[in-house]
Amino acid sequence: MSVITTERHDDVLVIVSNNPPINALGHAVRDGIKQALEQAIADPAVKAVVIRCDGRTFFAGADITEFGKPMQEPQLPGLLEWMESIEKPVVAAMHGTALGGGLETALASHYRIAVPSAKMGLPEVKLGILPGAGGTQRLPRVVGVPAALEMIVGGAPISAKKALEIGLIDRLAGEDNLAADAIAFAREIADQRPLPRVSEKQAVAEPGVFDAFRAANARKMKGFEAPEACIQAIQAAAELPYAEGLALERSLIGKLLASDQSKAQRHIFFAERAAAKIDGLAAGTPLIPIKSVGVIGAGTMGGGIAMNFLSIGIPVTILEMQQEALDRGVATIGKNYAGNVKSGRMTQEQADKATSLLTPTLSYDDLSTVDLVIEAVFENMDVKKEVFGKLDKVAKPGAILASNTSYLDVDEIASATSRPEYVLGLHFFSPANVMKLLEVVRGAKTSDSVLATAMDLAKKIKKIAVVAGVCYGFIGNRMLKPRQDQAGQLILEGAKPSDVDRVFLDFGFPMGPFQLADLAGLDIGWHRDPTRRETVREALCAEGRLGQKSGGGFYDYDEKRNRTPSPVAEKIIAEFAAAKGIPQRQISDEEIRERCLYTMVNEGAKILEEGKAQRASDIDVVWVYGYGWPVYRGGPMLWADQIGLKTVVDGLKRQADRLGKDFTVSPLLLEKAESGKTFN
The CB density around residue 160, as the number of other CB atoms within 10 Å, is 25
Which residue from 33, 49, 61, 451 is in contact with ligand 3H9, where contact means CB under 6 A?
61
Chain-centroid distance of CA 165 in Å reads: 30
- State the angle between helix axes of 497-507 and 513-520 in degrees (0 to 180), rounded to the nearest 10: 110
Cα gap 144→331, rounded to integer Å: 45
> In angstroms, rounded to a whole number, what is the distance separating the alpha carbons of residues 625 and 482?
19
**Is residue 604 a contact point for ligand 3H9 (CB under 6 A)?**
no
| Contacting range for ligand 3H9; rule: CB under 6 A; set: 126-134, 279-287, 315-323, 660-668 | 126-134
Which residue from 37, 46, 48, 62 is in contact with ligand 3H9, where contact means CB under 6 A? Answer: 62
User: Please, which residue, 64 or 381, has the CB nearer to ligand 3H9?
Assistant: 64
Known catalytic membership, residue 412: no
Contact 605, 668 (CB under 8 A): yes
Distance CA 50, CA 55 (A): 16
Applying CB under 6 A, the site for ligand 3H9 has a residue count of 25
* Nearer to ligand 3H9 among residue 270 and residue 472 (C-beta): 270
CB of 427 to ligand 3H9, least distance (A): 23
Cβ 484 to ligand 3H9, closest distance in Å? 34
Catalytic residue, from 7, 84, 87, 124: name it.
Answer: 124
Among 104, 249, 375, 591, the one annotated catalytic: 104
Considering only the stretches 124-132, 173-181, 560-568, 605-613, report the one whose residues sit in contact with ligand 3H9 under the rule CB under 6 A: 124-132
Among 4, 12, 13, 22, binds ligand 3H9 (CB under 6 A): 22
The SS3 call for residue 132 is coil
CA 441, CA 448: separation in Å to the nearest integer? 12
Q: Which of 36, 53, 90, 127: binder of ligand 3H9 (CB under 6 A)?
A: 127
325 part of the interface to ligand 3H9, by CB under 6 A: no
Query: Cβ closer to ligand 3H9: 237 or 399?
Result: 237
Which regions of 380-476 does DSSP assign to beta strands (E)?
A: 400-403, 423-428, 437-442, 464-469
- Among 4, 50, 118, 133, indicate the residue that binds ligand 3H9 (CB under 6 A): 133
Among 14, 16, 24, 237, binds ligand 3H9 (CB under 6 A): 24
The CB-of-132 to ligand 3H9 minimum distance in angstroms stands at 4
Q: If binding is defined by CB under 6 A, does position 76 make contact with ligand 3H9?
A: yes
Per-residue contact string for residues 134-163; x = within reach of ligand 3H9 by CB under 6 A: -x----------------------------
Q: Please, which residues have CB within 8 angstroms of residue 391's CB and are 6 or more apart in sequence?
A: 296, 364, 367, 373, 375, 401, 417
Contact map string, positions 220 to 259, toward ligand 3H9, x by CB under 6 A: ----------------------------------------
In 275-389, where do the E strands start and end? 293-296, 316-319, 358-361, 372-375
Among the listed residues 46, 48, 90, 101, the single contact to ligand 3H9 using CB under 6 A: 101
- Residue 63 binds to ligand 3H9 (criterion: CB under 6 A): yes
Contact 439, 411 (CB under 8 A): no
User: 97, 447, 548, 566: which one contacts ligand 3H9 (CB under 6 A)?
Assistant: 97
Q: How far is the CB of 100 from ligand 3H9 (least distance, A)?
A: 2
Report whether 19 contacts 26 (CB < 8 A): yes
Q: Which lies closer to ligand 3H9 via its Cβ, residue 71 or residue 189?
A: 71
Q: Of 133 and 467, which has the nearer Cβ to ligand 3H9? A: 133
Beta partners for residue 171, in sequence order: 113
- Would you say 254 or 544 has its CB closer to ligand 3H9? 254
Distance CA 122, CA 101 (A): 8
* Phi/psi of residue 428, nearest 5 degrees: -85, 160
Query: Distance of CA 312 to CAs 188, 332, 350, 477, 540, Å?
Result: 43, 18, 10, 28, 43
The question of whether 272 is a catalytic residue gets the answer no
Omega within 30 of 0 (cis) for the link into 530: no
Stretch that binds ligand 3H9, among 98-106, 320-328, 360-368, 508-516 (CB under 6 A): 98-106
Alpha-carbon distance of 281 to 201, in angstroms, equals 54
| Count of residues in the chain | 680
Closest approach of ligand 3H9 to the CB of residue 23, in Å? 9
Q: How far is the CB of 224 from ligand 3H9 (least distance, A)?
A: 15
Q: Which 3 state secondary structure label does DSSP give 328?
A: helix
Calpha distance 131→99 (Å, rounded): 10
Residue 105 and residue 80 in contact, taking contact as beta carbons nearer than 8 Å: yes
- Least spacing, CB of residue 155 vs ligand 3H9, in Å: 8
d(CA 473, CA 466): 14
Question: Does residue 132 touch ligand 3H9 according to CB under 6 A?
Answer: yes
Residues 257-276 that bind ligand 3H9 (CB under 6 A): 270, 273
Point out the residues that are catalytic: 104, 124
Binding site for ligand 3H9 (CB under 6 A): 21-22, 24, 60-65, 76-77, 97, 99-101, 104, 123-124, 127, 131-133, 135, 270, 273
